[in-house]
Structure 1
């Protein structure tokens, strides 16, 4: 390795000096060693792993079919969208009147085949529970069943949103797990899952979820082809499970209509309540969010082998509040489908501010080659999750999910071979810094002077201005491929004209919204999931300004204010009937 006894030639313009190299290497080893020590001292998972709300900061949602049309291309069904950003300035500048538009992206919502999973004790065989109440962790491990249940819920929710015709549906197949009444003789083959005192509909659903092969199918039909949701996941054919229910054995008419996503989520909550496993319910949900990433990287889905549950104190009051609500699902679904969003969040844990591109190897070497490989060999996945959760708490649910589904061991090898592109939108949606191009680092440029009194700026600031000033994304539409900044200084008068014009403007880049592309009509703006506190501020602002709006209208000089997303709703609803709906529905 170069930093062991290697000295860069004095005229090497790119490689760092031996001193620079050792400085970063030492800093890296100290940083990761401290995180490793803390993670090893804990025997349970950080609470941040259970909080999916941290992934919902203006995060857009999968739109319904009536609002946005999907596009078919071969074996892929997708939507198209892009982000819009506003540019602020500390001085008067015409650039602030122009939104910056990112390049269009494809959001895959359907593929030719669903995923199939194996059951193994390779990943997360023991459930350790969340802090700060680990003594209340559920005993046993039914995470695999809960992951498969969430897979159904997310897939069904997509069908509900994107349904165009009767052929777009969720159906049962002829494959099902065998069910047995409590007290009857159980077969010798296969693991038996108790589902409690349930009705015929709920029993039939569990028989489909735990069927070897494909017990249910969710498909969107376009142009004569069927497309499966990216979260659809089934047990492999060789897996065999039985269901035990309470009550009297009797023959019931077969159920032909699978439940809605809301009904299925209630079934899953019933199961969690029966086994005091709300903590596992949440863990299974974050695992289901990573299934589309498995398809992207060709990684097989492997779920934990079940272990019988034993009773503990009731966990519902402690963990049920973290169960995602029905209105949160489309937002989290969008996050996991938008290209590079999940991987960008996870790889952002490895990124460090102040580390330049030519010493990125020194920074990454300790964690990728000295720390993670032994932990992976020893199956200490909870330690890895602890390290990454401490680095970026917002991304903690994704690390837990990737460990449960068996994707986590792939991450170091991916990062060791190529540099994943950063997703600036995901930086905002998850409040997780990932790159020197993040909006937080766009600031007033520090301008220095050479001995000849020439103005110089940091090269990384030049890169930020090139990206920011290209509002139409013609030359610098996407951020640089590397999250690590370039080193060095550049003479201001030798930079591009855009950089020279705006070097003293103090520009900042702020996320505005996501936009869904539509055909033959204006695109659909999506301001995403906003925090409850901001929602209340929006309501208060809209209500106070509506007091004069309906009587006096809008002053011309204040039109830009009324076009803001908080107030534009009023401009779009001018009839007396619609005005009544606004005032009665928004006032609290």
Structure 2
């Protein structure tokens, strides 16, 4: 009996399960010994320095959509393969605010950030939500000025002496700052940031509505009520108030964590997740000398406002954020037909009771991809990890390949980012991994103009005579081929266009894992289940993406007939799958193939002409 061309046997299924399990168990053991994230990984001012940013004056269309055009270079040297464009679609707004909760009755995940005696996390998340929205209103041409609502936080006349819950001391502030804090910490919505696009009205992606139990109250030694001042604070003033508050309470570390969490609010809104945060807590009054002091420190994003705008732009793209967050579960050395057991082993560790708190989980993710530490810290605090960890489907994701964010953040998310090396002149075959990547880079037919929706590469080799013509012509190009971002063109008000050119971008590679957990831990096979193998859908998708329009070569007949691809094996199928001596065949349905050829979307194989 011939071996199955796609499905792993029981032994190999266990081997790949064990690889996934061992990889993540090793990360768990390292994180348990050292759960602290290195401070260098949390430096906002140097995060993703090549990420494009919205230009001031950018304009959305009448439906609220921005469709920018990005240009990509598929190789270097003398090859005549031209650059190609990809649309970058982004909805930089939401329809309803993200719900935030604080409650002494709701259990929070175990984390040092939730248990600090001086907890300013919620205060600063709410403050950064306003600051991001204020900058958003400055950037987008259709955005309206921010307005305060009638909802305001209450003031305490005297400061309690003991351990204080839900009472926020803002120091001796001026009227503008007092009114701002009353809006930012109010129940419900204390401010509104919106835009008008045609007949539609949208709100800022960081708009929130707060439900707090107990209700957050304000205290200032200089006042006991909110001033009548109604003019909303600018972005610059909001950032200054945040800096002053952090100086007052020595909360600079929590400020970075809060900013990371706030950047995740658009994704929480997209996933319809309500964010649970700790009740503010302050044990000791701030020093009298700092009550009226204005901070002279630089903002956490540094002196360049463009760095803030980069992170704002990233945050506005929840699908892109989800794409790069999910990249940590992608293993480049795993093929499409073996990703299922690898993910099952991964899920067994991540869903086990061995991970005691969010700090260890965050450290595991940091060890896996250090450059994503800051984003994963915010995502875990916002509770977004739960969607990923619900099972293999969450780890794998669906249509989660965003090559724009992958390139801009230097993140490896798919085999389609692989460099395809120059093949020898006398080569008789190339790997399907390189063949499929070249098919995308040559942009031959409509199907290839977007990457496959799953990240794992196909298995096996393809004979040179069976390659699509576009692919075959570029297998021996000097320097090979690879996906390189070149520039993006934004559409601005008045028909203007603004182009951001790319600097040198480097994709951070992750070598194949060779992690070896402690010998004292045996592999837990409770999560192993060949009957729920996601490898089938991943394999079917990648081969359908590549072969559906132009058909399978005769040499791939055993794959074409495999039950995973579900093309059937009836006599009518055989008649419609004409095989040629040259080793190639057009699609299984002749009428579909002819129709595709007539409409000019089928790229014939060399030996099918």
Q: TM-score, normalised by structure 1?
A: 0.76
Structure 2 counterpart of 1:33, from 11, 14, 25? 25
Q: Secondary structure at the match of 2:440?
A: helix
For residues 189 and 31 of structure 1, do their structure 2 counterparts lie closer, same or farther at Cα, with a shift above 3 Å needed? Answer: closer
**Match for residue 127 of structure 1?**
112
Q: Note if contact 1:212-1:240 (Cα within 8 Å) is conserved in structure 2.
A: yes
Q: 1:101 aligns with which of 78, 85, 98?
A: 85
Of residues 267, 272, 290 in structure 2, which corresponds to 1:293?
267
Q: Is the 8 A contact 1:57 1:428 kept in 2?
A: no
Partner of 1:367: 346
Q: Deviations over 1:257-307 (max 9, x none)?
A: 111111101101111111111000010001011111112111112222323
For 1:463, the equivalent position in structure 2 comes to 436
Aligned: 1:42 with 2:37: no
The aligned counterpart of 1:489 is: 461
Which residue is equivalent to 2:421? Answer: 444
**Is the contact between residue 184 and residue 191 of structure 2 (CA under 8 Å) also seen in structure 1?**
yes
Q: How does 1:45-60 map to 2 (within 5 A)?
A: 45-53=37-45, 55-60=47-52
Residues of 2 paired with 1:520 and 1:415: CA distance? Answer: 47
> What is the count of residue pairs matched by the alignment?
492
Question: Any stretches of 5+ residues in structure 2 without a counterpart?
Answer: 506-609
Structure 1: where are the runs of 5+ without partners? 1-8, 130-136, 532-588
Whether 1:357 and 2:336 are equivalent positions in the alignment is yes
RMSD over aligned Cα atoms: 3.3
State the Cα distance separating 1:353 from its structure 2 match. Answer: 1.6
Pick from 143, 149, 153: which aligns with 2:121?
A: 143
Q: Residue 173 of structure 2 is aligned with which of 176, 186, 198?
A: 198
* 1:367-446 → structure 2 map (5 Å cutoff): 367-374=346-353, 378=356, 380-413=357-390, 416-417=393-394, 419-420=397-398, 421-438=400-417, 441-446=418-423
Separation in 2, partners of 1:520, 1:247 = 48
Q: Determine the structure 2 residue equivalent to 1:336.
A: 315
Tell me the CA shift for residue 478 of structure 1: 1.5
**Contact 1:178-1:241 at 8 Å conserved across structures:** yes
Check the 8 A contact 2:344/2:392 in 1, yes or no.
Answer: no
Identify the residue that residue 471 of structure 2 maps to in structure 1: 499
Whether contact under 8 Å (2:163, 2:281) holds in the other structure is no
Q: TM-score, normalised by structure 2?
A: 0.74
* Aligned counterparts of 1:188 and 1:279: Cα–Cα separation in 2: 21
Distance 1:140 1:522 in 2: 49
Distance 1:117 1:516, change over 3 A: same
Secondary structure at the residue paired with 1:63? coil
Q: Deviations over 1:153-203 (max 9, x none)?
A: 1111111112448xx1111111101123455x7999972111111111111
User: Separation in 1 of the partners of 2:320 and 2:501?
Assistant: 17
Deviation for aligned residue 1:483: 0.7
- Which of 60, 73, 93 pairs up with 1:70? 60
Aligned to 1:267: 241
CA distance in 2: counterparts of 1:164 and 1:44, whole angstroms: 43
